[in-house]
């Protein structure tokens, strides 16, 4: 009964950590495509090919349900995968869904027409590829009207976090927030559209100010998964073992992951 979690690097570990706390008895298989990270600067076709390869490996590990804990993959590859690649007995879910559920205060299964919601001005912080895809704006438009979204491509932040340079990451976050505020001086809410960004949530909040509600993904995804598996218990795959897989150097990735989560993590070759 394992569930797969995929990310281009270490950011998806924030989602894994939240899921482990919410569903402690659920085996999880994590796949980090560290050899090809970051995805945020790659083409959509490249992201699609890498994401399908990784997802296939998670299917092979006994995961019938895979979460793309990578906003770039969710934005650039998920719809194409769901429309023509995912087998009938498998499911691949992205991380935008729980975020937009929370932002619009309506359940994803609510197919009523778009309506006005409480927030009017939303700042989106994401990778360049996610911003280019406009996937967040597209999904939001299905559920809400009258919401102005200003997107800021946060180049360099993922790289700094992956390298463990949190001083540089903080400086970059503050620079990107300043750039966003020049375009949208008073956002009502901010969406952290990358699973690496929860590690910098306090910096985002401080730079934006206490009046801005910051939406981060990890806990929202964990809660959404718990609800999904309660409704669809058959999607708990046959896998019984928790694993950490990487395309990168297992030793190097394990060391960085251990620092990332502040507990011992051991990756093996994918």
177-194 tens-digit pLDDT: 999 999 999 999 999 999
Residues 222, 92 share a domain: yes
Scanning the structure block, which residue is given the tokens 């197919």?
A: 111
176 is in an annotated binding site: no
Q: What does the block give as tokens for 56?
A: 């296939």
Spatial neighbors of 166 by CB under 8 A, at least 6 apart, are 160, 199
| The predicted structure's pLDDT at residue 240 | 85
Q: Which domain holds residue 246?
A: 2-96+218-269
Other Cβ atoms less than 10 A from the Cβ of 269: the count is 9
209 is in an annotated binding site: no
Please tell me what DSSP assigns to residue 234. G
Residues 147, 71 share a domain: no
Query: Over 80: is that where the pLDDT of 111 sits?
Result: no
CA pair distance 192, 196, nearest whole angstrom: 9
Residues 89, 194 share a domain: no
Residues 241, 110 share a domain: no
- Report how many domains make up the chain: 2
Percentage of the chain surpassing pLDDT 70? 99
Residues 203, 104 share a domain: yes
51 is in an annotated binding site: no
Residues 208, 127 share a domain: yes
194 assigned to active site: yes
Q: Given 50, 184, 194, 270, which residue is catalytic?
A: 194
Query: Over 70: is that where the pLDDT of 109 sits?
Result: no
Residues 167, 123 share a domain: yes
Residues 207, 118 share a domain: yes
Residues 74, 108 share a domain: no
**Secondary element (H or E) of residue 268:** strand 268-269
pTM, two decimals, is: 0.87
**Last residue in a domain, options 175, 197, 215:** 215
Residues 247, 147 share a domain: no
Q: Which residue has the higher pLDDT, 138 or 4?
A: 4
Strand-pair partners of 32: 7, 246
Whether the CB-CB separation of 35 and 245 falls below 8 Å is answered with no
Residue 174: give its domain's CATH number: 3.40.50.1860
């Amino acid at each position: 009964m394992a569930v797969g979690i995929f990310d281009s690097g270490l950011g998806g570990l924030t989602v894994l950590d939240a899921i482990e706390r919410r569903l402690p008895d659920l085996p999880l298989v994590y796949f980090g495509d560290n050899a090809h990270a970051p995805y945020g600067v790659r083409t959509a076709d490249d992201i699609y090919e890498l994401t399908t390869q990784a997802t296939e490996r998670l299917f092979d590990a006994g995961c019938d349900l895979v979460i793309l804990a990578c906003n770039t993959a969710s934005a650039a590859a998920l719809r194409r995968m769901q429309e023509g690649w995912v087998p009938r007995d498998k499911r691949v879910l992205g991380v935008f869904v729980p975020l937009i559920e929370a932002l619009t205060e309506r359940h994803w299964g609510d197919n009523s027409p778009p309506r006005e919601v409480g927030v009017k001005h939303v700042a989106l912080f994401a990778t360049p590829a996610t911003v280019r895809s406009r996937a967040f704006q597209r999904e939001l438009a299905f559920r809400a009207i009258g919401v102005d979204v200003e997107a800021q491509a946060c180049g360099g932040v993922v790289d700094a976090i992956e390298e463990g340079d949190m001083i540089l990451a903080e400086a970059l976050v503050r620079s990107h927030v300043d750039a966003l505020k020049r375009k949208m001086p008073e956002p009502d809410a901010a969406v952290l559209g990358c699973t690496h960004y929860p590690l910098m949530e306090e910096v985002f909040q401080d730079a934006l100010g206490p009046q801005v509600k910051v939406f981060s993904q990890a806990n929202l995804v964990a809660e959404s998964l718990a609800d999904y598996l309660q409704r669809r218990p058959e999607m708990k795959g046959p896998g019984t073992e928790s694993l950490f897989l990487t395309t990168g150097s297992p030793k190097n990735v394990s060391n960085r992951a251990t620092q990332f989560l502040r507990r011992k993590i051991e990756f093996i070759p994918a």
